[in-house]
């Protein structure tokens, strides 16, 4: 079961700067604690537009997740959302001064590290979970994703690329903040070397490099090393955690994904929200549950094979 029964924000502000993966423009993000349990809300500071992290505002989903409201776009939000959701920080004002969030090292680890250093702060009220009671499925040929009833949040992910260097990878885990930090947070985004020209021609991945992505060539990764033997499927799970944050509340269920991606992750979140008879609200957590406090010993980011 998830570990926090209290809604959480950060105990202090965090600012992180970098450049966008796709547009390659500089950008700065300020995470501002909220006084009340009001969800995750982005603010595009040049226009003052507030964009709640909600699935119905998700737009362009090619290779990243984008929120769109009143003509304002915020691209590549998924790694920050993943770190926040993985660490159960669900209430925050997220000020962004550009249209794309920084890619940093291509994983959620820099966000995770900053969040752990700032620490969590409990807010008044009880944490409410969306508990799946009947299966919800989205299918597109042999790609599919579904949420099934389960006591906790468990993820099962399979990818299958017709490239020997990547091939088939699968992983399954019950999510807790500690497992998120240890097993998913440091997994970097990836692509195939053969896709790079196509992506650049479409104006995508202009800021991409071996410093912020794993690139798989015919023989294997072009990077010096991998952080995990199955880093690719772990990154897909990291993306899934971020995209599921667009539900607007933590999920209790088993989520199985087969060869899915951002579009299917978001489609599942939208299908769950569109089918309120397939889930119910609950505040139930483990009886011995205590709030998740960050300990100094948890500050280092483990990047070793699990």
Tell me whether residue 262 is one of the annotated catalytic residues.
Answer: yes
Beta strands in the chain (DSSP E): 8-10, 14-19, 26-33, 40-44, 49-52, 66-69, 72-75, 92-96, 120-122, 129-132, 136-140, 143-148, 153-160, 168-174, 190-192, 214-216, 251-258, 279-282
Which one of the spans 85-93, 236-244, 247-255, 263-271 is the region binding Zn ion (CB under 5 A)? 236-244
- Segment interacting with Zn ion (CB under 5 A) among 23-31, 137-145, 165-173, 184-192: 184-192
If DSSP codes are grouped into helix, strand and coil, which group holds residue 9? strand
Nearest approach in angstroms of CB 278 to Zn ion is 27
Under DSSP, the state recorded for 218 is S
Helical axes 231-244 vs 262-274, angle rounded to 10°? 30
**Residue whose CB is less far from Zn ion, 79 or 131:** 79
- Considering the complex, what minimum distance in angstroms separates the CB of residue 76 from Zn ion? 8
The least distance separating Zn ion from the CB of residue 23, rounded to whole angstroms, comes to 16
CB of 187 to Zn ion, least distance (A): 9
Nearest to 127 by CA among 177, 173, 172, 78: 177
Q: Which of 19, 44, 91, 262 is catalytic?
A: 262
Q: Which is nearer to Zn ion, 252 or 268 (CB)?
A: 268
Count of beta carbons in the 10 Å neighbourhood of residue 95:
17
Instruction: Assess 107 for contact with Zn ion (CB under 5 A).
Output: no
To Zn ion, the closest distance from the beta carbon of 238 in angstroms equals 6
By beta-carbon proximity to Zn ion, the closer residue of 176 and 189 is 189
Q: Which among 47-55, 144-152, 237-245, 268-276 is the span making contact with Zn ion, rule CB under 5 A? A: 237-245
Q: Which is nearer to Zn ion, 8 or 189 (CB)?
A: 189
Interface with Zn ion (CB under 5 A), residue from 5, 169, 189, 285: 189
Token duo for residue 75: 């691209």
CA atoms of 294 and 184, how far apart (whole Å)? 17
Q: Is 297 exposed, middle or buried (0-12, 13-18, 19+ CB in 10 A)?
A: exposed
**How big is the site for Zn ion, counted in residues (CB under 5 A)?**
2
> d(Cα 232, Cα 212) in Å, to the nearest integer?
13
Strand partners, 68: 73
> Contacting Zn ion (CB under 5 A), which of 231, 239, 243, 256?
239
- Applying CB under 5 A, the span of 85-93, 175-183, 188-196, 253-261 interacting with Zn ion comes to 188-196
- Give the residues lining the site for Zn ion (CB under 5 A): 189, 239
Q: Which of the residues are catalytic?
A: 262
């Amino acid at each position: 079961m998830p570990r926090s029964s209290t809604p959480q924000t950060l105990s202090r502000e965090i600012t992180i700067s970098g450049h966008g993966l796709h547009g390659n423009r500089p950008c700065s993000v300020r995470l501002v604690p909220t006084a009340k349990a009001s969800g995750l809300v982005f603010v595009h500071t040049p226009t003052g537009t507030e964009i709640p992290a909600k699935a119905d505002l998700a737009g362009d989903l090619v290779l990243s997740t984008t929120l769109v409201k009143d003509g304002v776009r915020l691209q590549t939000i998924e790694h920050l959302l993943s770190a926040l959701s993985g660490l159960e920080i669900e209430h925050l004002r997220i000020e962004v001064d550009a249209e794309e969030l920084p890619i940093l090292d291509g994983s959620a680890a820099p966000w995770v590290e900053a969040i752990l250093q700032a620490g969590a702060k409990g807010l008044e009220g009880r944490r409410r979970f969306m508990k799946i009671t009947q299966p919800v499925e989205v299918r597109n040929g042999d790609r599919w994703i579904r949420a099934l009833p389960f006591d906790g949040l468990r993820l099962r992910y399979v990818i299958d690329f017709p490239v020997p260097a990547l091939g088939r990878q699968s992983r399954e885990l019950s999510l807790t903040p500690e497992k998120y930090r240890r097993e998913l947070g440091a997994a970097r985004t990836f692509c195939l070397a053969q896709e790079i020209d196509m992506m650049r021609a479409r104006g995508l991945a202009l800021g991409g490099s071996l410093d912020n992505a794993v690139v798989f060539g015919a023989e294997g990764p072009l990077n010096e090393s991998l952080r995990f033997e199955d880093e690719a499927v772990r990154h897909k799970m990291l993306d899934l955690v971020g995209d599921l944050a667009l539900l607007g509340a933590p999920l209790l269920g088993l989520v199985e994904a087969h060869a899915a991606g951002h579009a299917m992750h978001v489609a599942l979140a939208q299908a769950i929200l569109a089918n309120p008879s397939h889930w119910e609200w609950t505040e139930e957590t483990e009886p011995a549950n205590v709030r998740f406090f960050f300990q100094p010993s948890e500050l280092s980011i483990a990047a070793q094979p699990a």
